[in-house]
Amino acid sequence: MSVLIFTLIVLLGAFLAGFLGSLTGLGGGVIIIPLLTLGLGVDIHYAIGASIISVIATSTGSAAAYVKEGLTNMRIGMFLEIATTVGAILGAVIAVYLNAAYVAVIFGCILIFSSMMTLKKKVDHTTLDYSSKGAKFFKLNGSYPNQGVETPYAVKNVAGGFFMMLFAGTLSGLLGIGSGALKVIAMDNIMRLPFKVSTTTSNFMMGVTAAASAVVYLHRGQIDPGIAMPVCIGVLIGATVGAKVLVKAKTDKLKIVFAVVVTILAIQMIYKGLSGGF
Amino acid sequence: MMQETKQITDKDIQSLVGNLLRAGVYISMAIVILGGVIFLFDHGSEKIDYAVFDINKVSLKTVAAIFEEVITFKGVAIVQFGLLMLIFTPIARVIMAVVSFFIEKDYLYVLIGLIVLSIIMISLSGGFAH
């Protein structure tokens, strides 16, 4: 295949990955990696390097809007970034020593888990119980604009959230994804943040987390300009269009269809990993 | 209560950070696209070779190497430079937040920001790559 044809195919695929990733809330990274490895026969190391770059592009783009709206809790974000950046570097370093087949299998499992999470009904865990000492010390309690009213919220279980973030960061660095699903669990279920705050703050942290592991990948030669270029351009444009459509579209049915497709991709990744295809 | 005399508030920081992030993405993507076009003109008809990962295939792997090569105006170097700018954008955001928290006199968060920065800086110096 010539470089030009390859670039055009990847550009189109990355656009679709970014578009669907933003519509369903899965993110572009988890879709572009199977597409590159299973679809185009690209080595998973290059696919991960390109994907992590696209994670920086999309999360930074949307974080810009959220931060301005005052939804993001920058203190929570910065505090938890200690955990996610340490995790991200740890993950990227583990990836160096781990066999590509294992990476593919872990990737498949996380893919299935993430797609299930997008289908799960969200339960509001917010609280006004200000008893957490950690939250008070780190000034994490806050308020956010909810339908025009500034609504306060309290933060619980700071240590639990921190360790979950360490794990989320490690997977992000290991697999080259944003691991938004895990970040949201840490913040919704463990720390009891409102959805709007947890999703936007997770997005805010993703850029720094991905940058930390991207640097390790860069030094390792996993960021190949020929792949990273079409991937990040395509995913960013796709995600931007997706975010515009999302406001109008009903995504419930789409999410189910998509979860099925993603699960099939995940099983293929696991199968190929176990059968020595990587 | 907040001090009335405080000049920089959380709202100002939010707006500043938001603008920085947006500008960083636009500028770096513009550089990547420019480099991509040059790259395709020069190498578009060549065959791709991504089936097996080769640690020595990509030559531009360090910040220093990318800065040295970008002035040669080769497509690959410009793309890599743009990607590096993209990686720097969220890092610049942390630096900016540290400065803002310092002006706001929130020293705990100045420290937290510096911890995050030093983690990334150690990584950037290549300490974890081998």
Closest CA to B93 of B3, B11, B17: B17
Helix (H, G, I), strand (E, B), or coil: what is residue A127? Answer: strand
Helix (H, G, I), strand (E, B), or coil: what is residue A154? Answer: strand
Q: Are A60 and B21 in contact (CB under 8 A)?
A: yes
Show residues of chain A in contact with B53, CB under 8 Å: 43-46, 100, 222
User: Is A92 at the interface with chain B, CB within 8 A?
Assistant: yes
User: Is A214 at the interface with chain B, CB within 8 A?
Assistant: yes
Inter-chain Cβ pairs, chain A and chain B, closer than 8 A: 194
**Distances A229 to A25, A58, A94, A235, B84 between C-alpha atoms, Å:** 23, 14, 25, 10, 12
Condensed to tens digits (0 to 9), the pLDDT of residues B50-93 reads 988 888 888 888 888 999 999 998 999 999 999 999 999 999 98
Q: Decide if B36 and A7 are in contact by the 8 Å CB cutoff.
A: yes
Confidence of residue B4 (pLDDT cuts 50, 70, 90): very low
Residue B3 has pLDDT above 60, yes or no: no
* Grouped pLDDT means (10 residues each) for chain A, 278 residues: 94 93 82 92 94 92 83 92 95 88 93 87 85 91 88 93 95 90 88 90 91 92 95 93 79 82 91 85
Find the length of chain B: 130
Q: What are the sequence ranges of the domains in chain A?
A: 3-274
The reported pLDDT for the residue numbered B127 is 61
Which of B9, B50, B96, B99 best probes binding to A when mutated, by most A CB atoms within 10 angstroms? B50
The reported pLDDT for the residue numbered A127 is 87
Give the position of tokens 């950690």. A134
Q: For residue B116, what is the nearest residue in chain A, using CA coordinates?
A: A82
The reported pLDDT for the residue numbered A9 is 96
The H or E element that residue A173 is part of is helix A158-175
Rounded Cα distance between A176 and A162, Å, is 20
Buried b (16+ CB within 10 A) or exposed e, A233-265: bbbbbbbbebbeeeeeeeeeeebeebbeebeeb
Rounded Cα distance between A181 and A194, Å, is 15
**Distances A83 to A52, A55, A109, B18 between C-alpha atoms, Å:** 18, 18, 23, 23
Work out the angle at residue A90's Cα, subtended by the Cα atoms of residues A86 and A92, and round it to the nearest 5 degrees.
120
- Measured between CB atoms, which of A60, A79, A214 is closest to B21? A60
- Measured between CB atoms, which of B56, B113, B120 is closest to A215? B120
The reported pLDDT for the residue numbered A218 is 93
Instruction: Confirm whether pTM is higher than 0.80.
Output: yes
Q: For residue B61, what is the nearest residue in chain A, using CA coordinates?
A: A219
Running DSSP on this structure, what letter comes out for residue A122? P
